[in-house]
Chain A
Amino acid sequence: MTEATPELAPSDALVASAHQTAGPYWHLVDFPEWADTTRHFADRLPEGAERITLAGTVKDGKGALVTDALVEIWHADPSGRYPDQNGDPTAFQGYGRCATDKQGRFRFVTLKPGPVPVGPHAGGNAMQAPHVALAIFARGLLQHLSTRLYFEGEPLNATDPVLKAVPEARRGTMIAKPAGNGTWTLDLRLQGEGETVWMAV
Chain B
Amino acid sequence: MSDVVHGYRRPNPATQPPLNSPSYGSTHARYPTQPLLELPHTLTETSSPIFTPARYPEVTDLTVLENGKGQAMGERIIVGGRLTDEDGRPIRRAMVEVWQANAAGRYNHEGDTHDAPLDPNFRGMGRVFTDDEGWYRYVTIRPGAYPWRNHQNAWRPNHTHYSLFGSGFAQRMITQMYFPGDPLLPLDPIFNTVADEAARNRLVAKFDLEMTKPEWALGYRFDIVLRGREATPMEDGHHD
Q: State whether A28 and B30 are in contact (beta carbons under 8 Å apart), knowing that A16-B226, A18-B200, A198-B37 are contacts in the complex.
A: no
Within 8 A of A (CB), among B7-23: 9-12, 15-19, 21
The verdict on A197 contacting B194 (CB below 8 Å), with A1-B232, A89-B50 known, is no
Note all chain B residues with C-beta closer than 8 A to A29: 97, 99, 125, 127, 163
Which residues of B28-58 are within 8 A (CB) of A? 28-34, 36-45, 47-50, 52, 54-55
B111 at the A interface (CB under 8 A): yes
Q: Which residues of A contact B170 (CB under 8 A)?
A: 201
Look across to chain B and name the residue whose beta carbon is closest to the beta carbon of A27: B109
Contact of A64 with B109 in the complex, beta carbons under 8 Å: no
A117 and B44 CA atoms in complex are apart in Å by 9
The reply to whether B55 and A142 form a contact with Cβ atoms under 8 Å apart is no
| In the assembled complex, B86 has its CB within 8 A of some CB on chain A | yes
Name B59-81 residues within 8 Å CB distance of A.
Answer: none
Could you say which residues of chain B place their CB within 8 Å of the CB of A201?
A: 39, 41, 45, 169-170
A residues 124-150 touching B (CB-CB < 8 Å): 126, 128, 131, 133, 135, 137-146, 148
**Partner pick for A142 among B15, B21, B228, CB 8 A cutoff:** B21
Residues B169 and A198 in contact, CB atoms below 8 Å apart: no
Taking a contact as CB atoms under 8 Å apart, the answer to whether A116 and B44 are in contact is yes
Within 8 A of B (CB), among A1-29: 1, 3, 5, 7-9, 11-12, 14-29
CA–CA, A95 to B44, complex, Å? 11
Judge whether B29 and A21 touch: CB under 8 Å.
no
Contacts of B10 in A (CB 8 A): 200
- Is B90's CB under 8 angstroms from A7's CB? yes
- Cβ of A83 within 8 Å of any chain B Cβ, yes or no, is yes
A42 CB within 8 Å of chain B = no
Residue pair B33, A25 in contact (C-beta under 8 Å): no
Chain B contact-residue range equals 35 or more
Q: Say whether, besides A29-B163, A143-B17, A9 and B87 are in contact (CB < 8 Å).
A: yes
Q: Are A119 and B42 in contact (CB under 8 A)?
A: yes
Q: Is the CB of A142 within 8 A of B39?
A: no
A17 touches B202 (CB 8 A): yes
Known: A7-B89, A116-B42. A25 touches B111 (CB 8 A): yes
Binding site for A on B (CB under 8 A): 1, 4-6, 9-12, 15-19, 21, 24-34, 36-45, 47-50, 52, 54-55, 84-90, 97, 99, 101, 107-109, 111-112, 123-125, 127, 161, 163, 167, 169-170, 172-176, 190-191, 193-194, 198-200, 202-203, 224-229, 232, 234-235
Q: A8-B87, A16-B226, A197-B37 known; 19 other A-B pairs, CB under 8 Å? A: A1-B232, A5-B89, A7-B88, A7-B90, A14-B87, A15-B199, A16-B227, A17-B203, A20-B203, A26-B161, A28-B99, A61-B33, A62-B29, A118-B1, A118-B43, A141-B19, A143-B19, A190-B29, A200-B39
10 tightest A-B CB contacts, nearest first: A140-B26, A119-B5, A119-B4, A82-B47, A95-B49, A142-B17, A28-B99, A140-B30, A61-B29, A20-B176
A-B contact pairs, 7 of them (CB 8 A): A1-B234, A7-B88, A18-B15, A29-B127, A85-B48, A85-B167, A161-B1
Residues of A in contact with B (beta carbons under 8 Å apart): 1, 3, 5, 7-9, 11-12, 14-29, 40, 60-62, 64, 66, 68, 72, 74-76, 82-83, 85, 87, 89-90, 93-95, 116-122, 126, 128, 131, 133, 135, 137-146, 148, 161-162, 165-166, 170, 190-192, 195-201
